[in-house]
């Protein structure tokens, strides 16, 4: 994840940025409503953003010579739903691009779509689905964070495959190649992120008022 500055073709960079706009608009509306109705939610908002910033900034070497890292977006998705995390994640990625040279401005749209949109929506859907299936809260949170992490990397691999298809097998071959780059390190990282998210949520404790609201 965190596709580096200038790596994507300009058309792809612009297209992914445009794809983020509806989700960001929805996120701004949701955040505004949350803060107006629940001023105490500012603590959870700040904690969710900080959690995502710290975890996604931990670049760990991959056996392929690249790097892998957690995403941290599952916590906010479980606490507030996926829409606010689009905005928080975009802010996190912007600061990382500017301050840590992690990601880039030209690739910001693609990185936001994979980590701040796809990841949180998958996390939220898994959390709701697992809860409806009778899973315990801890198991539901673990699965949500773990699968949201893997979804982020799956979308990033697809973005790279679309931009750089394999000369022989096309996008499908490129997707397999890019998924393989991170698989050995990303799967255990996703499990660790799931466990950390359970611990973080137990410390914060979800707000009943927000839990009752629609996403």
CA torsion, ordered 94, 112, 140, 55, to nearest 10 deg:
-30
**Lowest-confidence region among 49-53, 87-91, 210-214:** 210-214
Highest-scoring range by mean pLDDT, 4-18, 34-48, 183-197: 4-18
Where do the domains of the chain lie?
Answer: 10-205
Taking Cα atoms as reference points, which of 161, 179, 158 lies closest to residue 169? Answer: 161
Average pLDDT over residues 191-198: 94
Taking Cα atoms as reference points, which of 118, 109, 37 lies closest to residue 45? Answer: 37
End-to-end CA distance of the chain: 26
Is the pLDDT reported for residue 166 higher than 70?
yes
What's this model's pTM, rounded to 2 decimal places?
0.89
Is the pLDDT reported for residue 192 higher than 80?
yes
* Domain 10-205 architecture: Orthogonal Bundle (1.10)
Q: What is the pLDDT of residue 209?
A: 42
* pLDDT tens-digit readout, 76-95: 999 889 999 999 999 999 99
Structural Rg of the chain based on CA atoms: 17
């Amino acid at each position: 994840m965190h596709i580096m500055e200038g790596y994507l073709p300009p058309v792809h960079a612009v297209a992914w940025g445009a794809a983020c706009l509806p989700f960001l608009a929805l996120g701004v509306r949701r955040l505004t409503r949350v803060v107006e109705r629940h001023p105490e939610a500012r603590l959870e908002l700040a904690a969710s953003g900080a959690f995502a910033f710290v975890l996604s900034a931990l670049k760990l070497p991959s056996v392929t010579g690249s790097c892998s890292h957690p995403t941290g977006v599952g916590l906010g998705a479980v606490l507030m739903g996926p829409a606010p995390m689009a905005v928080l994640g975009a802010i996190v990625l912007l600061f990382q691009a500017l301050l840590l040279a992690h990601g880039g401005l030209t690739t910001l749209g693609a990185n936001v779509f994979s980590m701040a949109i796809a990841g949180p929506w998958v996390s939220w859907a898994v959390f709701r689905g697992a809860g409806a299936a009778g899973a315990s809260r801890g198991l539901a949170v673990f699965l949500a964070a773990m699968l949201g992490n893997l979804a982020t990397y799956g979308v990033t691999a697809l973005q790279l495959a679309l931009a750089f298809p394999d000369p022989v097998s096309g996008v499908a071959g490129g997707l397999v190649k890019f998924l393989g780059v991170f698989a050995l390190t990303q799967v255990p990282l996703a499990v660790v992120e799931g466990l950390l998210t359970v611990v973080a949520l137990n410390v914060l404790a979800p707000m009943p008022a927000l839990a009752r609201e629609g996403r």
